[in-house]
Amino acid sequence: MTEVISSETTSSRDQKRSLEVFTLITTVFIAGLCSIVYELLIATTVSYFEGDSVKYFSLTIGLYMASMGVGSFTSKYIEKNLLFRFTVIEIALGFLGGISIPALYFGFSHTNYFQELYYIITIMIGYLIGLEIPLLTRILKDYNSLRVNIAHVLSLDYFGALLATIAFPFILLPFLGTFRSGLSFGLVNMLIAFMIIRVFPQTFGRAKKPLWILSILATLMIAGTIFSAEKLLKLWDDSVFDGRVLLSQETKFQKIVLTKNKSEIRLFLDGNLQFSSSDEYRYHEALVHAPIQHTAKVNRVLLLGAGDGMAVRELLKYPEIEEITLVDLDPAVVKIARTNPWVREINNDVMNTSKKVSVLHQDAQRFLMENTQAYDFIIADLPDPNNNALVRLYSKAFYRLIRRNLTPEGIFVTQAASPFFTGKAFWSIQKTVAASGFSHTKPFHVLVPSFGDWGFVLAANAPLEMKRQDDLPATRFLNNKIIQNMFVFGKDLTPPDVNVNTLDRPILLTYYLDGWQKWSRQ
């Protein structure tokens, strides 16, 4: 009888020990998963607001790693009650990590200390994460040898990080967005605390009840924020964007916001204005009609970007155009152009009614590399070069691909930011287009009240001369005299000394950001 009881006791102890080991190993995996997700979310969010993704991803990684190092170093001073202290760290990390993205949203829209808040949050989260692994390794010493513990802890931590990097672009951003993803992983972090309190009740003694209460309160706060996320995001949108927010959507490529102020409709991508219905026709008429006046024949047109349909509307005023291929990376933008009643009214519903238009959702550079049929007219109506992902679409290599995809008599035009506000960026684009091998380039500009003085660069291998003096279709703004004047620049817009923008040295990003920062300080 004694032997039976002893056997049952041993089996019970083995089961309890197995549960404890499983809990700690699961904790290691979840810790690795959450740590990378927080890092990616913070870097992505700051890049949305500030541009320059390379700068802020580099800063975030650097601050994160340094803070983790400090956390790992100071963990040696924690000598007693390791499991209790680890649980407190997880509660703090779950709460801070969970609210980190909402805090950054709030800091951007309601304070003048966004950068400082970004540094503080990044350093604090990095420090707490740095404490995790050393403490877990020491806690596990009661179960396995140091050799086995280090192997298990590091391998599971790395596997968790791998899963996070896969989930982030394919699941978290497309389906949850940055705001909800941060909150959701705060709850995942809180799960660690609940698991440890549940599995190791004897370790905490009197502290067990306060830990339960603290964990539950933190969880309820995070969960409440998740349930209120839609309202909070709407309040944030309303505080940042003028007018009533009609649509706010975060895709894996960008944040899209559509607003309405009286009769004016505005579209924003990552906070940057793409068009205003009050004057978009000035921009799109200049983009389309000024270049076409310099060519005798246009049958096949390639549009890179321009998913809102406005450029298509202008192109369809030429009956001779037989085919328009529109390449836009984000399907959500084209969907808005096809389904949103306000945008459909502005673009004359051309995205639904014209059989001449075919749409491809593909990277513009990849399309140009794979395309085999030349075009008479190529338009690059791409977002401003405010991050490295976009700067490559203004590079010498990209423009060489454009030239390769043109017919011998074909023409190319790109929007080129503001020659007034971002002069160095504008003239760098012009110089880059010329350096890519085009025989002829002609910069021009037009006043668009919503944007200011806005620039374009026209290029071709054949001489650029006005060939359609009396063949301008119906327009709201342009006439032949205005077109001629658009190619004239005042003395205050004299080309500065700038460099060509290349993939290896994307100097355009510096020119662009420096230009806007100069004016934002005034």
Nearest to 265 by CA among 381, 344, 333, 348: 344
Q: Is residue 132 scored above 70 in pLDDT?
A: yes
What is the reported pLDDT for 325? 96
| 8-state DSSP, 293 | T
| Confidence (pLDDT) at 10 | 67
Give the count of beta carbons closer than 10 Å to the beta carbon of residue 307. 27
- Say whether pLDDT at 43 is over 80: yes
Residue 51 has pLDDT above 70, yes or no: no
Binned at pLDDT 50, 70 and 90, residue 26 comes out as: confident
State percent of the chain over pLDDT 90.
55
Sign of the CA dihedral running 134, 140, 144, 148: negative
Closest by CA to 289, choosing from 443, 451, 468, is 468
Is the pLDDT at 379 greater than 80, yes or no?
Answer: yes
Residue ranges of domains in the chain: 2-229, 236-273, 278-520
CA 148 to CA 165: how far, in whole Å? 26
Lowest mean pLDDT, pick from 3-7, 61-65, 498-502: 3-7
Res 258 pLDDT > 50: yes
* pLDDT value for 434: 95
Is 349 labeled as catalytic in the residue annotation? Answer: no
The string over 408-425, giving b where at least 16 C-beta atoms fall within 10 Å of a residue's C-beta and e elsewhere, is eebbbbbbbbbbbbbbbb
d(CA 154, CA 470): 73
Burial class (CB in 10 A: 0-12, 13-18, 19+), 109: middle
Query: Positive or negative CA dihedral for 235, 239, 245, 248?
Result: negative
pLDDT given for residue 109 in this prediction: 81
| Adjacent-strand bridge partners of 457 | 414, 443
8 A C-beta contact, residue 305 and residue 465: no
**Per-range mean pLDDT, top range of 103-117, 195-209, 282-296:** 282-296
Residue 255 pLDDT level (bands cut at 50, 70, 90)? confident
Whether the per-residue pLDDT at 247 is higher than 80: the answer is: yes
Specify the pLDDT at position 416: 95
The torsion angles phi and psi of 232, rounded to 5 degrees, stand at -65, -40
CA separation for the pair 490, 468 (Å, rounded) = 26
Residue position matching structure tokens 């390794």: 137
What band does 8 get if pLDDT is binned at 50, 70 and 90? low
- Across the chain, what does the average pLDDT equal? 88
Mean pLDDT of 170-176: 83
Q: Which CATH superfamily is domain 278-520 in?
A: Vaccinia Virus protein VP39 (3.40.50.150)
Beta bridge partners of 314: none
Confidence of residue 3 (pLDDT cuts 50, 70, 90): low
Q: For 245-265, what is the mean pLDDT?
A: 87
pLDDT band, very low/low/confident/very high, at 7 (cuts 50, 70, 90): low
Give CB contacts under 8 A, 24+ apart, made by 78-86: 78/131, 78/135, 82/135, 82/138, 82/139, 83/139, 83/196, 83/200, 83/203, 83/204, 84/203, 84/204, 84/207, 84/211, 85/135, 86/131, 86/132, 86/135, 86/136, 86/139, 86/196
The residue that leads in pLDDT, 322 or 51, is 322
Instruction: Tell the CATH topology of 2-229.
Output: Growth Hormone; Chain: A; (1.20.1250)
Q: Is the fold of 2-229 the same as that of 278-520?
A: no
Q: Answer whether 108's CB lies under 8 Å from 51's CB.
A: no
Least confident of 159-173, 282-296, 318-332: 159-173
DSSP code for 118:
H
How far CA 415 is from CA of 291, 310, 319, 325, 331, in Å, comes to 12, 14, 24, 18, 21
Residue with tokens 């490559």: 392
Q: Active-site residue among 52, 381, 384, 470?
A: 381
Mean pLDDT confidence for 95-111: 90
Query: Residue 4: its pLDDT value, please?
Result: 47
pLDDT average, residue stretch 409-415: 96
- Supply 106's token pair: 């709030």
**pLDDT score of 490 more than 50:** yes
In Å, what is the CA distance from 265 to each residue of 43, 80, 147, 248? 30, 61, 63, 13
Tell me phi and psi for residue 268, to 5 degrees.
-120, 140
- Residues facing residue 59 across a β-bridge: none
The pLDDT value given to residue 155 = 84
Write down how long the chain is.
522
- Do residues 327 and 360 touch, judged by C-beta distance below 8 A? yes
Position with higher pLDDT, 148 vs 363: 363
Q: CA-based diameter of the chain, in Å?
A: 110
Handedness of CA 333, 338, 340, 343 (dihedral sign): positive
Tell me which of 192-206, 321-335, 497-511 is least confident: 192-206
* 224 pLDDT higher than 50: yes
Report pLDDT for 16.
Answer: 77
At 410, phi and psi to the nearest 5?
-75, 165
Phi, psi at 260, each rounded to 5°? -135, 125
By three-state DSSP, how is residue 276 classified? strand
Question: Does residue 63 have a pLDDT over 90?
Answer: yes
Q: Which residues pair with 250 in a beta bridge?
A: 255
Confidence of residue 15 (pLDDT cuts 50, 70, 90): confident
When pLDDT is averaged across residues 50-78 and rounded to a whole number, the result is: 88
User: What does the pLDDT look like over 306-339, one tens digit per residue?
Assistant: 999 999 999 999 999 999 999 999 999 999 999 9
Residue 385 contacts residue 394 (beta carbons within 8 Å): yes
Q: Give the DSSP per-residue string, 439-459.
A: SEEEEEEEEETTTEEEEEEEE
